[in-house]
Structure 1
Amino acid sequence: MFTVPALGLGTSQLGNLGRVVSDDDAQAVVSTAWDGGIRYFDTAPHYGLGLSERRVGRLLQQYPRDQFTLSTKVGRILTPSPDTAHLRDTEGFDVPADLKREWDFSADGVRRSIEASLDRLGLDRIDIAYIHDPDDHWTQASQEAAPALVALREEGLIGAVGVGMNDSAMLAKFVAECDVDLVMCAGRFTLLEQPALGDLLPVAQDRGVGVVIAGVFNSGLLATARPRPGATYDYAEAGADLVQRANDIADICEQHGTTLPVAAQAFPWLHPAVVSVVVGCRSASQVQSAVDAEALGVSPELWTALDEAGLLAPGLLGETTR
C-alpha cells in the first residue's frame, strides 16, 4: 500500500475558493502546516484555474523534496480563454476567467495534464495523481485515464494512481475494476454521514487500497462547535434537519469534553482502510486548529455515546473500530 502522511493540507482555498486569499496568507498557511508537522499537500488544476498549483509549488520549493508528499489531479485541461479574460471564474473561485476548464479523461489528456501541472508546480515529480470528479465520465476515466496513469507510474513520473470524488459508490467501482493505489473520498465518510461504509470502505480494505478522507466538515456544517442556520453542506445551505443533527452530535461531543470540529477530524480513523485525513484551510489559524485537533484526539466513549444515540451508521463500531 502506498504510504501517505496521516494529516494532509487541502489547498482549494489557496486557489481563492469563495474569496481571495492573499499571497501572504497563502504563505502563512503552508509555513504553519510545515511547522506543525504536516507533510502531505493536495492540489488540483481545477482550484483557481491553476492558482493553487502555482502557489503550492512555489511555497513548497523551500523544503526538501523528499520530505513531503504532493498530490494533484487530472481530468480538467486548462486552455486559454481570451474572450472571457475580463470576467471572473464561474465555478466558485475568485480568479480571472482567462483560462477555461475542458473535461478530458483521454490518455493523451492525462499526459498533457500532468505535464502542465509539473510546469505550474515547478517541481520534479508528482507523488499521487488522482482522476478528479469522473462522475459523468466512467467509461473514459476507467478505460483510458486509469491505464494512462498506471503507465506514468511505471515510468516513474508519478508515484501512485488515485481517484478523487464525492461519489463513494463509483470510487468502490474504481477500486474493484482498476489498478489504483489510493482513492480520495470527499464528504461521504464523516461524522454526519457514512455511506462509504456500505460500498467503498469494505472493498478498499479487501484489496489493500488506501482511502484518503477529505471534506470531513461536509464543507462547513461540522466546522464550528455550534452549527447555526445558514451553515453550508456540500457547498449549499444546509437544511434544518441537517443543522439539527449536527447540533445533536455537538451536544454529545460537549458532554465528552471535546468539540464538533475536533470529533469530525478524528472520526474517519474509526475505519482501518483510512490512511490519511485531508483538511482544507484558508488561514494559518485554521491550520493550527487542524494540527491541534490531530494532537488532542477524542475519547473512545464518545463514539459509543453517539452510537447509542443513533447518530452513527448502525453497526459501524462493531465492524470498523480497530
Structure 2
Amino acid sequence: MNQGKWQLRDQLGRLGFGGTGVGNLYRAISDEQAAATLEAAWDAGIRYFDTAPHYGLGLSERRMGQVVAAKPREEFVVSTKVGRVLVPSPATKDARDPEGFDVPAEFRREWDPSEAGAKRSIEQSLERLGLEYIDIAYLHDPDVYSMEDAVKTALPALEKLRAEGLVRAIGVGTNTAGAAMECVEAADLDFLMLAGRFTMLEQPGSDGRPGAGLLDRCLELGTGVVSVGVYNSGILAKPDLPSDAHYNYSQASEEILERARLLARVCSEHGVELPTAAIQFPFRHPAVVNVTVGASRPEQISNSAERMSAEVPRELWQDLQERGLIPA
C-alpha cells in the first residue's frame, strides 16, 4: 500500500457514519431529519461517510451528497459500493422496495460484477452524490450473489479501476467472514468492511464459525478493517437488554440473551455501559482502523461519539477475557 493510501486510512478517524438510516432503512425519515443527522455527524468530528446504491435505491447517496458535497472535499472520505447496479423499473414504481427500505420501488437492483458494471455504478453514484471522485469502492455482498464472479471478475475489475485512478482505494463489504477471507486472499484490497462478525458476541472462527485468522491475515496483508454492525443489529445497543432484543436481524435466542446480559453485568461492574464497550471492542485488534455506525437521528450520532470517546478501563477487558466472554 503506497503512502497516499496510508494517508487515506488515517483520514477515516475512529468513528464513521453509515448511510443505511438516511436511506430509509425500515422507516421513512424526512429530508430535513436526514440532513440534520449528517450535519450532526460532521459537527461531532466524523469525516468518514459510507453509503451504497442499495441503501434506499439511491436515496442514501443523494441525501449524503446534499450535505457532504458542500464541505471541503479534502477534509472527508466517502465510500460507496459496486455490484448492485440500479436499473429503472417502471413496472414497480407504485410499489415499495421489497428489501427493507421505505422507498418507492422505482429501480431494481441488478447484479453486475463486470468492469463495465462497476464503472456504470460508480458513475451513477458520483451523479447522486454530486462529487467528482469516490475515495473507496467496496464490492457489496458478493456472497449473496456469486463468489466465483467476485473472485474471477469483480475484484480484478476493481483493481483495474484503482490503477486507472477512478477510485482511490478498493475493498469488499460483507456479513460473512468466510467470504471475506476468500476475497482478502484473492485480491490486493485496501479495506475490508466486516459487518457484525467482529463484536463482543461474535468473532471470526469462534464456536466453529468460518473465517478463523481473518483479522490476523488482514494485518499481515495491510488490509484495513472497517468494523460495522458492532451492536449485532440491536442486542448490544442498550445498557439494559429488553427481552425482545434482536440479534442479527432476528429475535435473539435465550442463550444469546443470557450471554449478552452477562456481558452487560460485567461491564456495569466496571462502570461501563454495554454499548460503550461494544463500540470500542473492535479496536482490540490492530487490523481494525475504524468503526462505522448508522444513524437516522442527530442524538444517535451524539450518543455514538460519546461512547467512542468514553474511557474503558483495561481491567474490564481483562475481566471479560478471564471469564471467557471475549478472546485474549
1:188–1:196: 8 Å Cα contact kept in structure 2?
no
Matched residue, 2:74: 66
Residue deviations 1:203-260, cap 9 Å, x none? 1111111111000000111111111122111112111211111111000111111101
Separation in 1, partners of 2:260, 2:311: 19
Q: Which amino acid aligns with 1:84?
A: T
* 1:250 has 2:264 as partner: yes
SS in 1 for 2:142: coil
* 1:7 has 2:15 as partner: yes
* 1:129 has 2:137 as partner: yes
Which of 130, 141, 166 does residue 157 from structure 1 map onto? 166
Separation in 2, partners of 1:265, 1:113: 31
Task: Report % sequence identity.
Answer: 50
* 1:55 has 2:55 as partner: no
Matched residue, 1:75: 83
Separation in 2, partners of 1:93, 1:132: 17
* 1:180 has 2:154 as partner: no
Equivalent residue runs for 1:90-169 within 5 Å:
90-135=98-143, 136-169=145-178
Q: Which amino acid aligns with 1:23?
A: D
Residue deviations 1:239-292, cap 9 Å, x none? 121111111100011111110110000100000011111011111000001111
Aligned residues: 314
CA shift at 1:196, angstroms?
A: 5.7
Separation in 2, partners of 1:33, 1:269: 20
Residue deviations 1:60-85, cap 9 Å, x none? 11210100000000110111111111
Separation in 1, partners of 2:128, 2:247: 31
Residue deviations 1:79-126, cap 9 Å, x none? 111111111111000000111111111221111111111111110110
Matched residue, 1:193: 202
Matched residue, 2:273: 259
* 1:216 has 2:222 as partner: no
Separation in 1, partners of 2:65, 2:187: 29
Which range is displaced more, 190-199 or 99-108? 190-199
Matched residue, 1:320: none
Structure 1 residue ranges, 4+ long, deviating more than 3 angstroms after superposition: none
Separation in 1, partners of 2:126, 2:156: 20
Q: Which amino acid aligns with 2:233?
A: S
Matched residue, 2:248: 234
1:169–1:199: 8 Å Cα contact kept in structure 2?
no
Q: 1:196 to 1:275 in 2, by over 3 A?
A: farther
SS in 2 for 1:279: strand
Separation in 2, partners of 1:41, 1:175: 23
Structure 1 unpaired stretches of 5+: 318-322
Q: Which amino acid aligns with 2:68?
A: L
Q: Which amino acid aligns with 1:237?
A: Q
SS in 2 for 1:246: helix
Q: Which amino acid aligns with 1:242?
A: I
Which range is displaced more, 59-68 or 235-244? 235-244
Q: Which amino acid aligns with 2:300?
A: Q
Q: Which amino acid aligns with 1:161?
A: I
Structure 2 unpaired stretches of 5+: 207-211
Separation in 1, partners of 2:73, 2:311: 29
1:85–1:99: 8 Å Cα contact kept in structure 2?
yes
Separation in 2, partners of 1:297, 1:123: 37
CA shift at 1:192, angstroms?
A: 1.0
SS in 2 for 1:195: coil
1:189–1:213: 8 Å Cα contact kept in structure 2?
yes
1:48–1:94: 8 Å Cα contact kept in structure 2?
yes
